[in-house]
Amino acid sequence: MGTIHTTVRDSLYVDLSDGRRMGFAEYGHPRGNPILYFHGGMSCRLDIAWAADQFASKGLKVIAPDRPGIGLSDPSSECSLLNWVADVEELMDVLRLDEIPLFGWSLGTPYVFACAHSLPTRFSKIASVGSCSTFDSPEYVQEFGLFLDRFLITCPPNFRWLAKLLLSVSTKAPAHMMKGLLESEVTRSPSDFATIRALSMREATDFIYGSVYQGPDGVIDDYWAVREPWGFSLSDIGVELLLYHGEEDIIAPISGATRLSELIPGARLTTIPRAGHFLLHTKFDQVIDSLVK
């Protein structure tokens, strides 16, 4: 049996036409078929690093860009879902990517929907894992299980200083405390608790520290972009969209995925029993195989 080679290149850049640089990572087979991934909230390109060997075993190379002001990507003066679409189009042009699979997780899923709406022909298949819907319902926001998620979504602009302070303080905790905090926040989801418990210290925390590599502003802008009107109608998305959601997800409520499945004409919702927000870790084959087979 041959040896499977895995590439880990987590500090790559492309130059964008407006002078900014976009940082991204590549994980998986060094010559594998490309698949594009959008990271979650208070996170960065590093949150998919745990799956490098699994992508390699499938002959795939995942490309994971940082959104503006997050990780290695330069800030943008105007963060919005549709501006992200333009950045992604440039990234794909530079890397010569076309008709490839796209998937995203958690707060990255609204950015997936924006690309599905505006760049439908650039992707062969599209999936959304642990999805977030539009944040126009206070009741929906209050269903989110993490305090920082609820705070960042609802924080008034004149309290940006407080959001920066909270993020700065919370992301300075040592790794063992950060991992313990994550575990304590998902005790109501046995699947997520077991997943986080099994992660190495780096796998459980590097993506959080990486999100504020340049400071907290990029993370705040990321949350505030998705809480604003998205700039397109979900009903106008004209491609098939695979939605996967854990029935034990206490971080992003399943009500959002249900609403998305009703609003997006081509949406196909699959709910996973005994799975939480980190269902990609436990149902990796199911999700990825649906994108590439």
What was the pLDDT predicted at 242?
A: 99
User: Which helix H or strand E contains 170, and what residues bound it?
Assistant: helix 160-170
- What does residue 4 show for φ and ψ, rounded to 5 degrees? -90, 120
Model confidence at 3, in pLDDT bands (50, 70, 90)? low
Work out the average pLDDT over 271-275: 96
Nearest alpha-carbon partner for 87 in 69, 65, 107: 65
Residue 99: how many CB atoms within 10 A of its CB? 9
Q: What residue segments make up the domains of the chain, in order of their start? A: 7-292
User: What proportion of the chain, given as a percentage, has pLDDT over 90?
Assistant: 94
Work out the average pLDDT over 257-266: 98
In this structure, which amino acid lies at residue 281?
Answer: H
Work out the average pLDDT over 215-220: 98
Work out the average pLDDT over 213-239: 98
Q: Helices (H), strands (E): how many in the chain?
A: 13, 8
- List own/partner pairs for 30-34 with CB under 8 A and 24 or more apart: 30/5, 30/6, 30/61, 31/61, 32/56, 32/58, 32/59, 32/60, 32/61, 33/59, 33/60, 33/61, 33/100, 33/292, 34/60, 34/61, 34/62, 34/63, 34/95, 34/97, 34/100
Strand partners, 61: 28, 34
Three-state DSSP class for 144? coil
What was the pLDDT predicted at 2?
A: 54
Report yes or no: 67 and 212 within 8 Å, Cβ to Cβ.
Answer: no
Nearest alpha-carbon partner for 108 in 25, 26, 45, 27: 45
CATH superfamily of this structure's domain 7-292: Alpha/Beta hydrolase fold, catalytic domain (3.40.50.1820)
Work out the average pLDDT over 120-140: 97
Report yes or no: 276 and 186 within 8 Å, Cβ to Cβ.
Answer: yes
Q: Does the pLDDT value for residue 252 go beyond 80? A: yes
Model confidence at 141, in pLDDT bands (50, 70, 90)? very high
Q: Does the pLDDT value for residue 1 go beyond 90? A: no
Strand partners, 245: 271
- How far is the C-alpha of 293 from the C-alpha of 288, rounded, in Å? 9
Q: Does the pLDDT value for residue 198 go beyond 60? A: yes
Can you give the pTM of this predicted structure? Answer: 0.96
Q: Does the pLDDT value for residue 6 go beyond 90? A: no
pLDDT in tens, 59-92: 999 999 999 999 999 999 999 999 999 999 999 9
Q: What is the mean pLDDT of the chain?
A: 96
- How far is the C-alpha of 6 from the C-alpha of 52, rounded, in Å? 7
Model confidence at 293, in pLDDT bands (50, 70, 90)? confident
pLDDT in tens, 151-186: 999 999 999 999 999 999 989 999 999 999 889 989
